[in-house]
């Protein structure tokens, strides 16, 4: 099991958190998604290696950007 952290820019409310969780959670292989609205931290867990580009695309699909 692997875990990766990202910083998401632009989230301002609970709806933002829900959107990010839904989009990232739909990425194949993702087993868990935690979002901290206060600091924009997104923690993604998976059974194997995560495809970084797919996680970033999912965050963009939700309407936000991954910092860095």
- The CATH number of 2-66, from 3.40.50.11540, 3.30.70.100, 3.40.50.880, 3.40.50.300, is 3.30.70.100
Instruction: Report the 10 Å Cβ neighbour count for 28.
Output: 7
**Confidence label for 50 from pLDDT (cuts 50, 70 and 90):** confident
CA–chain centroid gap for 18, Å, is 10
Mean pLDDT of 49-61: 95
Q: Please state, in angstroms and rounded to a whole number, the distance separating the CA atoms of residues 17 and 13.
A: 7
Quote the CA–CA distance of 48 and 22 in Å, as a whole number: 20
Helices (H), 1-68: 14-25, 52-61
Evaluate if pTM is beyond 0.85.
Answer: yes
Contact 33, 44 (CB under 8 A): yes
Residue 61 has pLDDT above 90, yes or no: yes
Q: Is the pLDDT of residue 68 over 90?
A: no
């Amino acid at each position: 099991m692997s875990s990766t952290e990202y910083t998401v820019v632009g989230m301002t409310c609970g709806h933002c958190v829900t959107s990010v969780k839904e989009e990232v959670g739909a990425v194949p292989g993702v087993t868990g998604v935690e979002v901290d609205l206060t600091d924009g931290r997104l923690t993604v867990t998976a059974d194997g290696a995560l495809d970084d580009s797919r996680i970033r695309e999912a965050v963009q699909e939700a309407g936000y950007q991954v910092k860095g």
